[in-house]
Structure 1
Amino acid sequence: MIVSCTKNESVPVTHHVAILKPTFDKIINNPEYMRMGREIEKKVSEFISPSGRFKVSSRILVVDSSASARALIMKAFQNKGTMIECVACKSAKEALEHLEDETFNVVTTSLLLPDMDGLELCRRIRSNKNTRLTPVIVISGDADERLLMEGFSAGVTDYFDKSRGHTALADFVTRYLECTSGTAHRILLVEDSPTVATAISRMLIKQGMEVTHYASAEDALELLEATDSKSALNTQFDLVLTDFHLDGKMTGGDLLHAIRARLKYGPQELPVLVMTGSDSIEQQVEVFNAGANDYVGKPVTEQALIARVRSLVLVRQQYCALQRQKQQMEILSMTDSLTTTFNRRYLMDYGYEMSTDPDELPLAIMIIDLDHFKVINDQHGHLKGDKVLSSVGKKLKYNIPADGVTIRYGGEEFCILLPNYDIDKAGQLAERLRSKVEQMDIDGVNVTLSIGVSEISTDHPDDLETALKKADVALYSAKKDGRNRVEIAST
C-alpha cells in the first residue's frame, strides 16, 4: 500500500506507522481515552446490531394497493427521523406472508385491497395465534357507523381518516407506538424484600418500563384508592406485580381481592401478576381464585418475568383500545352525520341530565329553524339543501360557548343548550347567530334563521319538555312575525 506525501514522494505505510507508533501507544494506554472509547462503543451499540445493521425500535407493515400511496407513507415515516422500519406490500396475501415470517409492532392497511378487503385481512391476522395481538389500523375515508361496528368485530384496533394526509398518519402511528412501547408501561411493584424488589425493578427498568415500588399491600392499596378514576383509560398503572406473601396485616392475596372487589377493576382493566415461591397446585388455584391474571415462580427469572409482563400489559392495552372504540361508537351514534352536530338521541339522553343538574342552571334553550328551507330544496336541489344544512350547523356549532351543545333537532331545525346562561344573554347570542348566518353565502345560496329562546332556572323550574315547548312557541311567533328574527319565550 502506497500513500501520498507532501514532498510528492511515495513512502511505504510501515514508515508512517513507525513514526506515529509512540503517539498511538500514548492514546491506547491513556485511561481517559479508553473510557471515552467504551462510552462511544456503548452508544453505537444502541443503534447498531452485532451483525452491523441499524437497530430499529419499531417495525410497521404498510399494506396498500397503490404504489404512490405506499411511497408517500414510507416517506412520511422517514421524514420523522424515528428508528422505524417500514415494510410495504400491495396485497393482503403478501402481507400475510410477511407476517408469517416476521414480527411487526403494528399493521396499517387500506380498506380496499385487490384480493380481500382490510377487514378480512384483520380477521386473518386475528385467527393466527402468532399475530392475533398485533395492532391493526385501518386507513379509510368512509368510517361510518356500519363500518366501525363491522371493523371492531373483525378485530380492528383503530381507524385513521385518510383525508388527514400521510404526515398525520405517521404522527398517529408514532404516537400509538409510543403508547404501546415499553416506555409507556407503568408497573406497580409490591414486594417486601428490598433485595428482590431491587432486582426486579432493574429487570423492568432495563426494558424501559416505569416502576413504582411499595413494600406493603396497605401502602399500595392506598395509592390505588387515591388515584382510582373508575376508568381503565385513566388508571395510573398498566400492571400490578405483587408477591403473594407479604409482611403486614394484608397479604398479596388481600391486595388482589381489594383490587377486584373493592376497586372493581376487572382482569383486563388492571392486570395483576402474582409472584409466589410455592409450586403447589393448591397455591396456584388460590392465586387464580383471588383474581390474578397469571403468576410467576420465585426465584424470578428475567426471561419469564418480562414475557408475562409484556403479555399482560398488551392485554390491558387491547382492552383500553376497545374501550376507546366503544366511546367513539357512542359518540358516533349521537352525532348527525350531515351536520356533525349532536342528534336527537343526545338530547334525550344528556339534555335531561343537564336540565336537572343544579350546577348547569340556568340552562338556556334555543330552537332554530331555517327560513323557507323547502324553497331552497325545490329551487336548488336536495344536495345543495344538504350543503346549506351542513354549513349552518357548523356555523352554529363553532359560534357558541365551549360548554354549549348544538343538536340537529329534526329536518331543518336545530336546538342549542347553553348551561349557566340566562335567557337575556341567550337572546343576545341568538341575535349574533342570526346575523352571522344571514351574512353567509353558501355556494350562491343565502339563508336566514328564526329563533325561539327559553330557559330552565331556579326561578322557572320547568322540565326540559316544557322548556322546549316554550322555545317552540317563541319560534312560531318569530316565524309568524316575519321570520329572520329572535323571539324570547314568555315566562
Structure 2
Amino acid sequence: MRALIIEPSPTYQRILSRMLDTYDFDMTFVDSATAGFRAMREHHHQFVCVAMYLPDLTGIEFCQHIRQGSINNEVPIFIVTSESNPELLSSALTAGATDIIRKDDLPRLEEALHTLIPLGPFRYNISGKALYLEDSLTVANATDAKLKRLGLQMDHAFSIAEAHHLLQHNKYELIMTDIVLQANETGIDFIKQLRSETRFQQTPILAVTSLESINRRIQALQSGANDYISKPVLDEELFARINNLISSNRLVEQLTRERQRLLELATKDHLTGLYNRHFMGEVAKRRFAEAYRNHLPLSVLVIDIDHFKQINDQYGHQTGDNVLKCLAEALRQQFNDDDYVARFGGEEFVVLLNQTELEPARHKAALLCQTLQQLKPENIITTVSVGAASLNPAQQEYFDEVFARADKALYQAKQNGRNQVVALVE
C-alpha cells in the first residue's frame, strides 16, 4: 500500500506522517507537483494527499492534470488546505479531488480513509480502548488478540460490578458484552444500566451472543445495544462491525462539535468571544418579556472605550484588538453568569443586567471603570464611558427603548469628559 504526500511544509509532513503511520502505508513525501508527477509515474499509489498551494502548481491544477492523464487517474486525491472559500473548494471538487480536508480538521482524513482502504485487518487501525464483559477467560483472551489487530486495547470484566468499576476509571471507544453471564446476570441488564446514565448514552455497545433466539437479539437492541454479533465470531465480521460502530460514533461526535462551532459562530463575536449584537437582541426579547411577566427589574449598560481610534492610530490595530480582548475579559469577570455581555461593534459593548435596579447597575459600571483604568492593557492607560438605564415597569418599554436611553446616557458621559458613568431615569 503506497501513499503519496505532496506537501511543502515540513511541519505538516510530520503531522501527516504520524497520522498515516498506523495504516501500514509505504509513504513517499515530496514538496512539489513536479516531484509528485514523477513519483506517480514510478509507482502505483492507493492514496494521494496534496496541499492546496505548491511551489509550481495549486492542488486544484494537480488534480486536473491527474484526472486528465492516463497514469493512476482513479487514485483518491485529498486536498489539504486552510482555505474556507466555498467557490475555491467547489473548484477543487470539480477538478477531481476526492475530498477537501481542512488543516484544522485533519482527523477527518482518517475517517475518509476507512471508506477507501480495501478490507483487511490493517484497514481498521482504530486507537482507543474497549471494554468486554465476558465470563469466559478463554473467549476474552481470544477477543483481546483480535482487538489488538484493530489497534484497540481491551479491558476485560467477569461481572457487571467489575465492569462498572472499570467504567469509573477509564474512557472507552466501545463496550462489548456477552448476553448470558454467570450469577444470573445478563448483558441485557448491563446495557440497560449503561443507557440509563447520560455519559454512556452515546457510547457504542456491541452485544455478543451464542443464542440463535431472534427475540433475544431484538431484546438486546431494544435495551440500547447498537449492534450484535453471534458466536462463533468471524474475524472479518467482528472487524467490520466494530469499525462501523466506532466510525459512526466519531462522526456523530464530529457533527456535534461542528454544530457547536456553528452555534458559536452565530452567537459569539470572533475577536472577543463575547456574545454578538444579533444574539443579544434575541436574548433581550426573552429577558424583557420575563421581566414584565414576573415584575422583575432589568438594566442595560452601554460601554464605549474612550479615544479608541487614537489607540489604533498610535499603536496599531493589533494592539487595539488586544485592548478589546482585555476589556472583554474584564467584563466577563465583572458580571454574573446570569448577565449577558455582548460586543455591539467596534469598541462598543452592551451588558444586560438581569434582575438589577438602576443604582446597582450604575455601581457595577463604576467598578468596571476603576478596574479597567488600573488594568492598563498593553501598558496603555485605557478608560471607558458608560451609559446606564433601567426598565420602567410603568411604561410599555422593551430593549430598544431602554437601550436608546442608555446610549443617550453614554453620549452625556462622553460630553462630560469621559471615564465616567451616567445613569438616566425616564
Query: TM-score, structure 2 length as denominator?
Result: 0.58
Determine if the alignment matches structure 1 residue 215 to structure 2 residue 158.
yes
Partner of residue 207, structure 2: 274
Deviation digits for residues 19-72 of structure 1 (CA, Å, limit 9, x no counterpart): xxxxxxxxxxxxxxxxxxxxxxxxxxxxxxxxxxxxxxx9976455xxxx3556
Partner of residue 240, structure 1: 175
Partner of residue 191, structure 1: 134
Partner of residue 318, structure 1: 251
Shift in Å, 1:328: 1.7
CA 247–468 in structure 1, closer or farther in 2 if over 3 Å, else same: farther
AA of the residue aligned to 2:419: R
Determine if the alignment matches structure 1 residue 477 to structure 2 residue 419.
no
CA 315–77 in structure 1, closer or farther in 2 if over 3 Å, else same: closer
C-alpha distance in structure 2 between counterparts of 1:385 and 1:326, whole Å: 35
Out of 281, 286, 302, the residue aligned to residue 367 of structure 1 is: 302
Out of 325, 329, 333, the residue aligned to residue 394 of structure 1 is: 325
Determine if the alignment matches structure 1 residue 487 to structure 2 residue 421.
yes
For the 8 Å contact 2:3–2:45, the answer to whether it is kept is: no
C-alpha distance in structure 1 between counterparts of 2:306 and 2:213, whole Å: 78
For the 8 Å contact 1:186–1:239, the answer to whether it is kept is: yes
Secondary structure of the corresponding residue to residue 275 of structure 2? coil
Shift in Å, 1:414: 1.5
Shift in Å, 1:343: 0.8
Shift in Å, 1:111: 7.9
Deviation digits for residues 267-298 of structure 1 (CA, Å, limit 9, x no counterpart): xx321212111356665555545543333322
Partner of residue 431, structure 1: 370
CA 287–159 in structure 1, closer or farther in 2 if over 3 Å, else same: same
- Over the aligned positions, Cα root-mean-square deviation in angstroms equals 6.1
Determine if the alignment matches structure 1 residue 347 to structure 2 residue 288.
no
Secondary structure of the corresponding residue to residue 433 of structure 1? helix
Shift in Å, 1:239: 0.9
C-alpha distance in structure 1 between counterparts of 2:188 and 2:272, whole Å: 53
C-alpha distance in structure 1 between counterparts of 2:264 and 2:146, whole Å: 41
CA 434–348 in structure 1, closer or farther in 2 if over 3 Å, else same: farther
Identity %: 27
For the 8 Å contact 1:70–1:88, the answer to whether it is kept is: no
C-alpha distance in structure 2 between counterparts of 1:284 and 1:150, whole Å: 48
Shift in Å, 1:219: 5.8
AA of the residue aligned to 1:188: L
C-alpha distance in structure 2 between counterparts of 1:241 and 1:481, whole Å: 71
Secondary structure of the corresponding residue to residue 300 of structure 1? coil
For the 8 Å contact 2:4–2:47, the answer to whether it is kept is: no
Partner of residue 70, structure 2: none
Q: Which has the greater radius of gyration?
A: 1
Partner of residue 117, structure 2: none
AA of the residue aligned to 2:230: G
Deviates more, 1:70-79 or 1:427-436: 70-79
Shift in Å, 1:333: 1.7
Out of 81, 91, 114, the residue aligned to residue 139 of structure 1 is: 81
Deviates more, 1:269-278 or 1:194-203: 194-203
Deviation digits for residues 131-153 of structure 1 (CA, Å, limit 9, x no counterpart): 99x9x78431x5479999999xx
Partner of residue 42, structure 1: none
Out of 187, 190, 195, the residue aligned to residue 252 of structure 1 is: 187
Secondary structure of the corresponding residue to residue 160 of structure 1? helix
For the 8 Å contact 2:132–2:157, the answer to whether it is kept is: yes
Deviation digits for residues 93-131 of structure 1 (CA, Å, limit 9, x no counterpart): 97xx89995368xx57438974749999xxxxxxxxx99
For the 8 Å contact 2:132–2:175, the answer to whether it is kept is: yes
Deviation digits for residues 377-424 of structure 1 (CA, Å, limit 9, x no counterpart): xxx9xxx998797455234235556686863124552135899x9865
Number of aligned residues:
367
CA 238–158 in structure 1, closer or farther in 2 if over 3 Å, else same: farther
CA 451–78 in structure 1, closer or farther in 2 if over 3 Å, else same: same
Partner of residue 201, structure 1: 144
CA 473–293 in structure 1, closer or farther in 2 if over 3 Å, else same: same
Secondary structure of the corresponding residue to residue 104 of structure 2? strand
CA 474–412 in structure 1, closer or farther in 2 if over 3 Å, else same: same
Partner of residue 232, structure 1: none
C-alpha distance in structure 2 between counterparts of 1:187 and 1:417, whole Å: 47
Shift in Å, 1:187: 1.2
